[in-house]
Amino acid sequence: MFKRERLAFLLVLTMVAPGLVLAQPAPAVERPAVDRIRDEGMNRSQAMATMKYLSDVIGARLTNSPAQRRANAWTKEQLEKWGMKNAAIDPWGEFGKGWELKRFTASVDANGEFVAFRSYPKAWSPSTNGAITGDVVYVDATDEAGLEKYKGKLKGAIVFTAPERRVEPGFAPVATRTSDDELAKLDAAKPQDNVQQNRGRQGGGAGAGNQSFNQRKYRFYFEEGVAVLVEPSQGTDSGTIRVMGASPAPTAPVPGQSPFAGPRVYSKGAAPTIPQLVAETEQYNRVYRLLKQGIPVKMTVDLAVQFFEDDLQGYNTIAEIPGTDLADEVVMIGGHLDSWHAGNGSTDNGAGVTVTMEAMRILAATGLKPRRTIRIALWTGEEQGLLGARGYVAKNFARIGDGSDNAAFAAMAGGGRPALTKLPAYDKFAAYFNLDNGTGQIRGINMQGNEALRPIFRGWFEPFHDLGARTVSINSVGGTDHLAFTAVGLPGFQFIQDPIEYFGRTWHTTQDVADRTIEEDLKRSAIIMATFAYNAAMSDEKMPRQQMAGGVASLIPGFDYRALNDEQAFAALGLGHQVCGYPVRPEELPNGFPSMFAVSTFFRDGA
């Protein structure tokens, strides 16, 4: 995990620069309306009922899985029951195959000792077609010559792909809240030159070389007929396993093609990959040490899965509270409905779904009549690259080129103004507010570089100072759905939340369950979300927008994205990354999640 001090990571995806807009006077806040919102949300909350149904009854919601489709149907029905209008399960474009785990066991035989091997399959791994047993092998090659000694020896083997991962004593608490001092530094932050980022501009070097050889090693496993690939959990220990998607079968690079092109593991027609597991770190380490001592280990894996190809389209859940005199203008709130599959998707992002659904329920229950239409969107495909939100924006508001990853990368690399096609609803859009940082309560908001918003947001937080919510930061955060809006110049925002144990325990892990959510935090976040949506819907003027800049490349002088020739090189640059609003190392990015959609800026005032 990145150090928080002096982080300054440039938000590549947004393709906008802070506009030179004079600060706006803070609009008056309707305190009677806020009091009604607060009373409804704190005294008659349905937040935990929503959370528990979504987490316990529906469960994990991998994109295009049957459970995700059930979640679409249930959220639409629930929003309609609460009085929302124009509810729809709205297609956003082709995603690909659904996937569901049907059966899984793994065990090792180490020197005559039977051990249940605690691990979890990566999503879109294929079945093993019954139980298979093979020798466990760690491939320690660091170059092509090193691979030669394994040639002809890996067919049917179960390969450990990484060295032992060091486990440190857990002296620091896993769960934390953001201190007042830290919030004050975020509030006072000013944009500054990023020395760390400058160091990353050269690309290449040892990091890029390692990435290139890792690609070669991965192709070698396919060539040699490896049966199963196993890796240790990244960033977790103490029995928690962080699991995302399987790596696709390797394909030959196409000259001149964007590094973000090519089939994903879930794409229609994608070649079958090798079954892939993520293991509890401590168990992985023990087997690794046995192998290093020359002790033979066999592993048995029984993995049964089902793919779903009857409907390859992806779908969001949409519903709204119609406005009055400005009903053709829209304020949106949302979070992503999809999740990874090893837990129940409670903090990532059942919390965001719960908070935004509860905010809509509160607004309907109070009988308040917003001037602008307030619309909720529960996105899918977020974990694979903000796909549902990007598809919705391209269909309804604006698109860069043809709306593809390739078009976004080409616009970023070219140094000129992105080719932006605006649709009629573009000029009627007011703002989008996103929640995707776990169960922790809202403590502030990131302005995405738009200083003109500071007095507005300060006024809106004033009724919640007693809840510790007041921070307004210049920062831009990446890796979640508001970027679909900021990418085309529309106001989109992610709130600042208390981290609790989001990255250390629940983010994309087997521990992402309802027990790890906090009811009071969800209730507080819901009333703040409802208030922000209502205030944005009631203001005389839409929120000030950033001015479009001349392309992303111009925001990093001297940096040439066109010199990059693969996604791994981009990930290895040393830039800061966030996914679902949380800082991650490049190697922790979900497979298939383009790095350019996760790069972000993060400033703090003070050393």
Least confident residue range of 129-143, 270-284, 388-402, 583-597 = 583-597
The residue type found at 606 is G
Residue 487's nearest CA partner among 428, 434, 420, 424 is 420
Give residue-wise pLDDT tens across range 217-233: 999 999 999 999 999 99
pLDDT given at position 600? 55
Residue 275's nearest CA partner among 153, 121, 136 is 121
- Please give the structure tokens belonging to residue 588: 């922790």
For 357-362, what is the mean pLDDT? 98
- Find the helix or strand (DSSP H, E) in which 216 lies: helix 205-224
Tell me the C-alpha distance between 513 and 240, whole Å.
Answer: 12
Least confident residue range of 18-27, 374-383, 436-445 = 18-27
- Please give the structure tokens belonging to residue 305: 């899965």
- Please give the structure tokens belonging to residue 3: 């150090």
Query: Is a pLDDT exceeding 80 seen at residue 583?
Result: no
Tell me the C-alpha distance between 97 and 271, whole Å.
Answer: 12
Query: Is a pLDDT exceeding 90 seen at residue 317?
Result: yes
User: What residue has token string 């229950």?
Assistant: 365
448: left (phi over 0), alpha (psi -120 to 50) or beta: left
Which range, 504-508, 584-588, 589-593, is most confident? 504-508
DSSP E strands, 183-288: 228-232, 276-279
Query: Is a pLDDT exceeding 50 seen at residue 564?
Result: no
Cα dihedral value 123, 128, 129, 133, nearest 10: -150
Query: Is a pLDDT exceeding 90 seen at residue 30?
Result: no
Least confident residue range of 373-387, 420-434, 459-473, 549-563 = 549-563
| Torsion sign, CA atoms 356, 358, 364, 370 | negative
Cα dihedral value 461, 464, 466, 472, nearest 10: -30
Residue 97's nearest CA partner among 128, 75, 127, 66 is 66
Query: Is a pLDDT exceeding 50 seen at residue 371?
Result: yes
pLDDT given at position 515? 98
pLDDT given at position 452? 95
Tell me the C-alpha distance between 422 and 328, whole Å.
Answer: 16
pLDDT given at position 567? 40
Tell me the C-alpha distance between 87 and 76, whole Å.
Answer: 6
- 326: β partners: 372
CB 269 within 8 A of CB 234: no
Query: Is a pLDDT exceeding 70 seen at residue 563?
Result: no
Helix, strand, or coil (residue 479): coil
Query: Is a pLDDT exceeding 80 seen at residue 334?
Result: yes
pLDDT given at position 476? 87
Query: Is a pLDDT exceeding 80 seen at residue 505?
Result: yes
What is the chain's percent helix, strand, coil content, to nearest 5?
Answer: 35, 20, 45
Phi, psi of 485 (to 5 degrees): -85, -45
CB 377 within 8 A of CB 316: yes
pLDDT given at position 602? 52
* Predicted structure pTM score: 0.88
Percentage, residues of the chain above pLDDT 90: 73
pLDDT grade, residue 581 (50/70/90)?
low
**214-223 CB contacts, 8 Å cutoff, 24+ apart:** 214/568, 215/250, 215/566, 215/568, 216/144, 216/147, 217/139, 217/141, 217/147, 218/247, 218/250, 219/250, 220/139, 220/147, 220/150, 221/139, 221/154, 221/159, 221/274, 222/249, 222/250, 222/274
pLDDT given at position 551? 36
Which range, 389-398, 470-479, 597-606, is most confident? 389-398
Mean pLDDT of the chain: 86
Domains of the chain: 31-95+314-597 (3.40.630.10), 98-173+218-308 (3.50.30.30)
Cis peptide before 475 (omega within 30 of 0): no
Query: Is a pLDDT exceeding 60 seen at residue 158?
Result: yes
Query: Is a pLDDT exceeding 50 seen at residue 198?
Result: no
pLDDT grade, residue 11 (50/70/90)?
very low
pLDDT given at position 369? 97
Least confident residue range of 21-35, 38-52, 58-72, 572-586 = 572-586
pLDDT grade, residue 6 (50/70/90)?
very low
For 533-540, what is the mean pLDDT? 97
Tell me the C-alpha distance between 606 and 55, whole Å.
Answer: 40
pLDDT given at position 404? 73
User: What residue has token string 């990571």?
Assistant: 9
Helix, strand, or coil (residue 319): strand
Query: Is a pLDDT exceeding 50 seen at residue 561?
Result: no
Query: Is a pLDDT exceeding 90 seen at residue 3?
Result: no
For 247-253, what is the mean pLDDT? 84
Give residue-wise pLDDT tens across range 167-179: 999 999 999 999 9
